[in-house]
Structure 1
């Protein structure tokens, strides 16, 4: 959105366009009343050892501050030689002294790296820059207290955890209707398709199957209370050949048993088309930064943010997507859903054990998945 102004320059009129900041960013033309602070891994001696080492099983608290305030930016980079350390390190966030986290996810998945390896991508709210720079710009308000932790569930130390967390200390309380940031990790390794007796996505046995109630859909998140859903990052490891993205997105609002919002295909929900054209792309609110050939073993990463129209709910919400048309396919999905809601929030499903979070091909049968145990 732009603000248009007409001004006079030496007797002639000229039109000047000023970009309007998104609503979560301060208006830089107005004097701000907050004070900006940073919690970081800086060397307290003034030297250049600006990192923390985190032993196996240990938790590093990276933010522990009183409010009212808003976390405005989070940056991490990690030196850890252990394979799939992005899946082994867990990020958690707690608001106002709550005992269960409002954010819980493997750190890679939170930043859209759901396959456990690094790739560069950019969006309005999350990005990974060269090289291995993890950035988050979701605004995260808190009234009384904020605590963010990083836990190493790997078998080896994190040699160096670097972080900068910027937050605003506010001069007055948050508005009474302020919603709190939440993020929930889910995975299916694998999704359980209802059949493996099909030859390709156009097989009649697949196309004739109906799914009107979303039963057995992959679930991105569920919430109770009131708030609004703002998006998802998802990664796919194919266990079967052919295009994985024939599944429709379905959203269930305030206890509905049939979805009020239904899409037309996975690549359509992520605002691409025609299998994404087989070409990776990355835009401000949507993208598919990882795309490989449509064969068993192929990988994909996709994202969509609803900043144009967050999906509101008053009592409950469930966000889902089919895995293949009518849930015929048995690929692996890994996702983090992002939303804002009033506290308290419902308990999250238990985080899968660390050994079950490593992406691995599964023996499921069907095209490209033979009679022996599948290997990565």
Structure 2
């Protein structure tokens, strides 16, 4: 291939600052410490080599302690995953009159590499006790420390959407780490309100020399801390190495274009693809149907759509994190280091139905291949539709061999007007009976909270595109110090846990490194990539039905509260036109009369669509004064549609069909008000 001159000038030349940061990790006295870990954070080459010394990655979190085994679905998908739930037990220690709740207590040598929290305002104090000391080395207001408002600078501490705090400043320890949280409770029974947390940490083999974190050492390294923070906040793209480019191309449907890389031990360290014709904010099929493939040393290790591979998902948007960038103009870039020993090839393939105009450039540099070198992998899985009931574990990745998991992108299509991401990540490393990582929510995994749809950017977690509850959403995360090594196998699952009983689409790219010979259950899926992107429509309507909320009220019992209820959180389109007539009856005998239609000639079969819920009553119907014999029990443990309820065939009276609904009682299981009811729509059909 020929080199594209223009491509050489797109990205700024690497700064002297960055080159200093990317020098080989320095260790004081041979020990792992804050200095070496900060340098490792910004050493992209380091991720492409098996860690030395090796470490085990784990997660301490506030997951629901009833989750013990997949054999017990009720416990496995339990969702009380915050500290104020009485079902969850935490150790409480009394220190100097304080009640401190223990979030994590582990033996070293190790290092805290990520600390996320969400929930109510984090006004309490977090304390880090290291190596058995009774004096905390860190004691700060939790919300300030994790949001970059204390002494750890952004983005080593960063607040994302939903007021979620994320601390990435490494906190190494030689012997032990205990982290506590105290929020002014008067006794050990007063739990910290609304506190979710995830703490990820490394553990090195016994005997590994680790320099324990101190504030004095942090102050000594302030210049390096600031330079690291700047490098993460403003990542630059490599401009060195040999450029191999395509020039502008038009790729017809079903065609592909290969970029053969220079032979010998090399590493791709910058890949740019520019796609023409994308419109900001609008889902684009080219981002799903245009595929990036890569083979290294005869093994294809990369197969993923452009959108998920580069982290922008299905919607052209701005993205900027440590390893990838995207622009609204269709320029996509990644800075993953992709080594090979003998040969490499990158292929762009069009599986869509329309031609794609693009150009591509790869920058390649020499690489010292050794026994620690690993190939880069990017695998993709897609499923549409996924039924959200029953709850399930959806596999992001299953891999065998020796490698390191370094991130993922989720491109979601949500068809319901309510929250989709209660699901927890569950990660099994090298087998085991229980996950080494058990999270507290999909948005927690991606660094934000409360399902907040606001755009946020950061070096490690991003929600790059504006989104609504219903429709397309993209979340992406990369792992550096919190990468997950595996020596034999990795299984990475995410729960599908949606508030609605509906359908969703998941498209997930996983990024990982592995020594040659690793395998995965993920397979190239041209058929799925070529499918049209699901586009959620507007509110569904029952064809030919009369909406109850639009009917004229002819009469009702005194004081009866009647209103239109919009988009109740159990699925967009489940109610016809996304609304129902909601009647807050408080006692038996309450009634309402509705004019269903006028100008009707001839008999009509009347079919009602209603709602059942936990606080609904038992109803009696009559049409044009004629009583329907069978009563309707509106109780259900959760909101559901009744489906069609046939009331019978009736003659119009003066050309009208009038429906009377009266409360007669309540199911013994109905809670609270007990006598409410909801009416969605009525069909009038020829008998």
Aligned mates of 1:87, 1:351 — CA distance in 2:
11
Candidates 92, 101, 107, aligned match of 2:293: 92
Candidates 289, 294, 302, aligned match of 1:103: 302
Aligned to 1:142: 340
Aligned to 2:81: none
Return closer, same or farther for 1:107/1:226 CA change in 2, 3 Å cut-off.
Answer: same
Residues 1:289 and 2:464 are matched in the alignment? yes
Aligned to 1:40: 245
Counterpart mapping for 1:183-332 below 5 A: 183-195=378-390, 216-276=392-452, 278-294=453-469, 297-324=470-497, 330-332=503-505
Residues 1:152 and 2:356 are matched in the alignment? no
Shift, 1:85, TM fit: 1.3
Deviations 1:86-122 (CA, angstroms, capped at 9, x unpaired): 1111110001022xx200011222112322x311111
Aligned mates of 1:162, 1:76 — CA distance in 2:
6
Shift, 1:165, TM fit: 0.7
Who wins on radius of gyration, i.e. which is larger?
2
Structure 2 unaligned spans of 5+:
1-17, 22-37, 47-239, 541-568, 579-687
Aligned to 2:43: 23
Aligned mates of 1:340, 1:242 — CA distance in 2:
36
Q: Is the 8 A contact 1:114 1:335 kept in 2?
A: no
Q: Is the 8 A contact 2:499 2:570 kept in 1?
A: no
Counterpart mapping for 1:158-197 below 5 A: 158=356, 160-170=357-367, 173-195=368-390
Aligned mates of 1:317, 1:110 — CA distance in 2:
20
Return closer, same or farther for 1:259/1:103 CA change in 2, 3 Å cut-off.
Answer: same
Aligned mates of 1:366, 1:352 — CA distance in 2:
33
Candidates 239, 242, 262, aligned match of 1:65: 262
Q: Secondary structure at the match of 2:389?
A: coil
Q: Is the 8 A contact 1:323 1:329 kept in 2?
A: no
Aligned to 1:351: 525
Aligned mates of 1:175, 1:186 — CA distance in 2:
31
Q: Secondary structure at the match of 1:87?
A: helix
Q: Tell me: higher relative CO, structure 1 or 2? Use CA pairs within 8 A at least 6 residues apart.
A: 1
Aligned mates of 1:272, 1:253 — CA distance in 2:
25
What TM-score do the two structures reach when normalised by structure 1? 0.75
Shift, 1:327, TM fit: 10
Deviations 1:243-280 (CA, angstroms, capped at 9, x unpaired): 1111111111112343221011111111112223x421
Return closer, same or farther for 1:279/1:366 CA change in 2, 3 Å cut-off.
Answer: closer
Return closer, same or farther for 1:238/1:69 CA change in 2, 3 Å cut-off.
Answer: same
Aligned mates of 1:79, 1:275 — CA distance in 2:
32
Aligned mates of 2:305, 2:298 — CA distance in 1:
22
Q: Is the 8 A contact 1:179 1:342 kept in 2?
A: yes
Q: Secondary structure at the match of 2:371?
A: coil
Structure 1 unaligned spans of 5+:
4-18, 27-34, 42-49, 196-210
Q: Count the aligned residue pairs.
A: 313
Return closer, same or farther for 1:328/1:305 CA change in 2, 3 Å cut-off.
Answer: farther
Shift, 1:20, TM fit: 4.9
Q: Secondary structure at the match of 1:282?
A: coil
Shift, 1:140, TM fit: 0.5
Aligned mates of 2:317, 2:278 — CA distance in 1:
16
Q: Is the 8 A contact 2:243 2:361 kept in 1?
A: yes
Q: Is the 8 A contact 1:37 1:169 kept in 2?
A: no
- Once structures 1 and 2 are overlaid, which stretch shifts more, 231-240 or 79-88? 79-88
Aligned mates of 2:273, 2:344 — CA distance in 1:
18
Return closer, same or farther for 1:57/1:293 CA change in 2, 3 Å cut-off.
Answer: closer
Shift, 1:228, TM fit: 0.9
Shift, 1:300, TM fit: 1.3
Shift, 1:360, TM fit: 3.6
Aligned mates of 1:283, 1:225 — CA distance in 2:
31
Aligned mates of 1:327, 1:231 — CA distance in 2:
28
Aligned mates of 1:85, 1:226 — CA distance in 2:
34
